[in-house]
Amino acid sequence: MIFIDACFRKKTPYTPVWMMRQAGRYLPEYMEVRNRAGDFLTLCKNPKMACEVTLQPVDILNVDAAILFSDILVVPLEMGMDLRFEKGEGPIFDHPLKNREDLKALKVEEAALRLDYVYEAIKLIREKLDRDKALIGFCGAPWTLATYMVEGRGTKTYSLVKKLLYTDPDFMHTLLRKVTEVLKLYLQKQIASGVNAVMIFDSWASALEESAYFEFSWKYMKEISSFLKKRNPEIPIILFPKGISGYLDKIDGDFDVFGVDWSTPIKLAKDKLFDKYVLQGNMEPMRLYNKDAIKEGVERIVEVMGKKEGHIFNLGHGILPDVPVENAKYFIDLVHEMTKR
């Protein structure tokens, strides 16, 4: 698999490329399945439908890897929290975590078992996916999940979770420890079910100052990665902390690929991390609205990263819902063409 070879810095005929959120609303085919499901969580919990939408961008765009269709918040859902998705508002937990009794009620081993619909979807996808295409499994980072679990929804201020972090760090570490244990089991079961690589998304990394980030987020991501690498050295681990370009000097750990977000200059990431990790990224997603902007963006990244091993092309965050499909395809084809060895 070209994608897996690239994760281990092996020779490939071109730089592989895929997109975060590539199985999503910009595809009419996805919307048809989503409408058939009735609601987002039903789609996530239906292995056949999850399989169908996971495969769509591989067939339509010719990306080099499929990423499992699911949601990071199925983990706290199966830990015992009540999750719903509201149109225009996103995910909502009606009873966010407030005290130690709430913490005690969270399930760990049982949660990993209750995610069987994810493992079933993986088995179906791997069965139908071309052998030369990789399947990426994933989860949210403990800090990102904990943020939702305490705030109850998306937030711009992080006021509740950061207040807890500084006034009751023991509460936060207890929560992060529980989430970390679930994620270890969850990703190990994803690997056992057939994924070829795993990625950990820390969407809210930039909410934390440097010392807090390494204590309350990166430490737990590293722990999960080390746990998996010891058991599955052949499985690439990708870590994606969004918005921490100022902390790159302190990045370390037992993983293979570092995801570079669009706000981090790719040259900076190369200078700081390229000798240790393969880099993935980091095209500005908004460039996909215009083909000239796409071409300019790809050229800039190729100018820095070259056509050598050690790079995987991706967006610096997820593709937007109203991007024209033809532009997404243009991006994938252009990367393949421009990076031929």
Q: Domain containing 94 — which CATH number?
A: 3.20.20.210
Rounded Cα–Cα distance for residues 152 and 148 (Å): 5
List pLDDT tens digits, range 190-240. Answer: 999 999 999 999 999 999 999 999 999 999 999 999 999 999 999 999 999
List pLDDT tens digits, range 130-143. Answer: 999 999 999 999 99
Domain housing 8: 2-338
At 89 the pLDDT is 83
pTM: 0.97
Query: What's the sign of the alpha-carbon dihedral 129, 262, 334, 274?
Result: negative
Annotated catalytic sites, by residue? 21, 25, 34, 71, 148
CA distances for 58 relative to 7, 63, 123, 338, angstroms: 19, 5, 17, 20
Question: For residues 278 and 10, is the Cβ–Cβ distance under 8 A?
Answer: no
Question: For residues 176 and 234, is the Cβ–Cβ distance under 8 A?
Answer: no
Give the SS3 label for residue 201: strand
Rounded Cα–Cα distance for residues 238 and 311 (Å): 12
Q: Which residues pair with 250 in a beta bridge?
A: none
Neighbours of 145 (CB within 10 A): 26
Q: Number of folded domains in the chain?
A: 1
Strand 197-202, strand 90-93: pairing: unpaired
Identify the residue with better confidence: 86 or 163.
Answer: 163
pLDDT over 90 at 123, yes or no:
yes
Question: For residues 3 and 62, is the Cβ–Cβ distance under 8 A?
Answer: no
pLDDT over 90 at 88, yes or no:
no
CA distances for 135 relative to 18, 55, 152, angstroms: 11, 10, 31
pLDDT over 90 at 32, yes or no:
yes
Q: What is the mean pLDDT of the chain?
A: 97
Question: For residues 200 and 139, is the Cβ–Cβ distance under 8 A?
Answer: yes
